[in-house]
Amino acid sequence: SHKRRGEYSRKKKLYGEMGVLYYVVYNPRRRRKAPLEVYKLVNGEYQLQFGNPVWLSEIGLGIGTDRGTYQGINREWLYWYDEQGQRILIPEEQIVHQRQLAQRERQRATEAEQLAQRERQRATEAEQLAQQERQRAKLLEERLRSLGIDPDSL
């Protein structure tokens, strides 16, 4: 909640009475307690869960902290995590990630086109070389015939 105080007494008790399965307290400026505390309601009592991130199996997400930049501010933030413990990107990060993927894909396409161009160049050079060899063979054949030698009989 946005109101300070009562996180460990009044608010926690009220949420427990309402049957809220998870109760999360996050305060990055804390000194006496961990900045993130996740409690799970078990038999009417909240039990502290350990880890960072903490896996919330009933909702299929983890919650934890990590250092990051959000709206230009770099500090520790609260994030969602997937089942493998990987932080789920925030929209700003998703945009950057998609741009990076697109850039890599453009680079791969450019490299593939350059490779294809080199292959076409090699094929052209090979064809030119073959053409030169055919011309040389034809000239040699004509020269032999002019000397009265049948090249097919050699």
pLDDT of residue 31: 80
Q: 3-class DSSP state for residue 106?
A: helix
Q: 3-class DSSP state for residue 67?
A: strand
* Residue 9 in this model has a pLDDT that exceeds 90: no
**Could you tell me if 42 and 52 are in contact, meaning their C-beta atoms sit under 8 angstroms apart?**
no
pLDDT of residue 1: 59
* Residue 148 in this model has a pLDDT that exceeds 80: yes
Position 30, amino acid? R
Question: 21 φ, ψ to 5°?
Answer: -65, -40
**pLDDT tier at 112, thresholds 50, 70, 90:** very high
Phi-psi region of 99 (alpha: psi -120 to 50; beta: other; left: phi over 0): alpha
Position 112, amino acid? A
Stretch 136-142: mean pLDDT: 94
Q: Could you tell me which residue, 39 or 31, shows the higher pLDDT? A: 39
Q: Which residue has the tokens 């697109």?
A: 102
Residue ranges per domain, the chain? 10-88, 98-153
pLDDT of residue 28: 84
